Amino acid sequence: MRKKIVAGNWKMNKTLEEAKALLSEVVNMVKDEVTGDVTVVLCPPALYLTTSRQYITAGGRVALGAQNCHEKASGAYTGEISAPMLQSIGVEYVILGHSERRQYFGETNAQLADKVNSALENGLTPIFCCGESRDLRENGDYIGFVKDQLTDSLFHLSAETFAKVVIAYEPIWAIGTGLTASSAQAQDMHFEIRRHIAGQYGDAIAQDITILYGGSANEKNAAELFAQPDVDGGLIGGASLKSREFTNVVKAVN
């Protein structure tokens, strides 16, 4: 059975005191209310990762994730954070290739391949994001575009190493726009991603890879999205900033 994951990407939100309150609320709600086999990954701003560890017990249902890491292990890269640094403070997951990183910071597929390597070499689980723009969805080969993202950034990995990666499909046109892919649209792309992986690594690995949906999922649409056969959870943005709504999204996995 594939691992079910709901990850909360806080992006650049919350003051320290607000972050502490949200961490406490989510961790306790998950403990008290969530049943079934689902892993919750909380990804606060990097500034709060050490503080977050005080609320998140290693090996428990809630895991700690970072929103990004640099491809180099160390060096003169002012303002950046490396995978060894994240590993040293107990971070377990790291989001890589989010559409906002690609759009605002010019991250390329080749650069992301290096970031994936660094994360895996340091024991972190990459949540690798892929997805298409609205223009591509309406006018172009959006399936081919997403396949190229996977091929260029992940398919250099051995089968054994690739199996450690989590994929997050995020239709860019549905992030922060109020739009959401229909459950059928989400399922179709998740199926295509899984089929593309099978072509490279075989069906057994493709069927075992966790693929998350990451496009404005919330407590109203999560159950329908998560019910799709190839959707294994979600990478949640805005809804992760509200403890009750986020917990309801997590509960929708089951």
Residue 238 counted as an annotated binding residue: yes
Rg of the chain over CA atoms, in angstroms? Answer: 17
Residue 140 counted as an annotated binding residue: no
Which residues neighbour 101 within 8 Å (Cβ) at sequence distance 6 or greater?
A: 68, 107
Q: Is 98 a catalytic residue?
A: yes
Residue 176 counted as an annotated binding residue: yes
Amino acid letter, residue 141: D
Residue 9 counted as an annotated binding residue: yes
For the chain, the 3-state helix, strand and coil shares in percent, each to the nearest 5, are 50, 15, 35
Q: How many CB atoms lie within 10 A of CB 42?
A: 27
What phi and psi, each to the nearest 5 degrees, are found at residue 221? -110, -5
* Options 70, 71, 92, 98, the catalytic residue: 98
Dist. CA 45–CA 9, nearest whole Å: 9
Residue 65 counted as an annotated binding residue: no
Residue 13 counted as an annotated binding residue: no
Q: Is 170 a catalytic residue?
A: yes
Q: In the structure, how many helices (H) and strands (E) does the chain have?
A: 12, 8
* Options 71, 92, 132, 170, the catalytic residue: 170
Residue 173 counted as an annotated binding residue: no
Which positions are annotated as active-site residues? Answer: 98, 170
Numbered residues of the known binding site for substrate: 9-11, 176, 216, 237-238
Numbered residues of the known binding site: 9-11, 176, 216, 237-238
